[in-house]
Amino acid sequence: MYSGTSSGKSENETFGYTTSAISSGVYNVTVSTSDVTSGGFSFVVDTNNNTVISANLEGYVVTGSQAKEEFDSLMGLFGLEEYYTGEIGVFTDSTYFTNQGTSTQTFGTVSFPVTTYGLNSANEQINYCGVSATITSYTLSVGTPPGTSLLFITQLQFSGTSQGQSENFTFQLVSMTVQS
| pLDDT at residue 82, rounded to an integer | 41
Mean pLDDT score, 164-169: 80
Average pLDDT over the chain, rounded to whole? 75
Q: What is the Cα 167 distance to its own chain's centre?
A: 19
**What per-residue confidence (pLDDT) applies to 38?**
46
DSSP states along 108-131 = BTEEEEEEEEEESSTTEEEEETTE
Cα 168 to its chain centre, rounded Å, is 18
Q: Residues near 18 by Cβ (< 8 Å), separated by ≥ 6?
A: 29, 30, 32, 179
The residue that leads in pLDDT, 93 or 171, is 93
Q: What is the pLDDT of residues 49-98, one digit of tens each?
A: 778 888 887 778 888 888 888 777 666 544 444 444 355 677 788 888 99
Residue type, position 176, single letter: M
Tell me the pLDDT tens digit for each residue of 30-41.
Answer: 776 655 544 567
- State the pTM of this model: 0.59
What are the sequence ranges of the domains in the chain?
A: 2-173
Going by C-beta distance under 8 Å and a sequence separation of 6 or more, which residues neighbour residue 155? 116, 139, 140, 141, 170, 171, 172, 173
Per-residue pLDDT band for 116 (boundaries 50, 70, 90) equals: very high
pLDDT of residue 103: 97
Tens-place pLDDT, residues 128-145: 777 788 999 999 988 888
Q: Which residues of 100-111 are buried (b: 16+ CB within 10 A; e: fewer)?
A: eeeeebebeebe
SS3 94: coil
Lowest mean pLDDT among 1-10, 20-29, 92-101, 139-148: 1-10
* pLDDT surpassing 70 at residue 125: yes
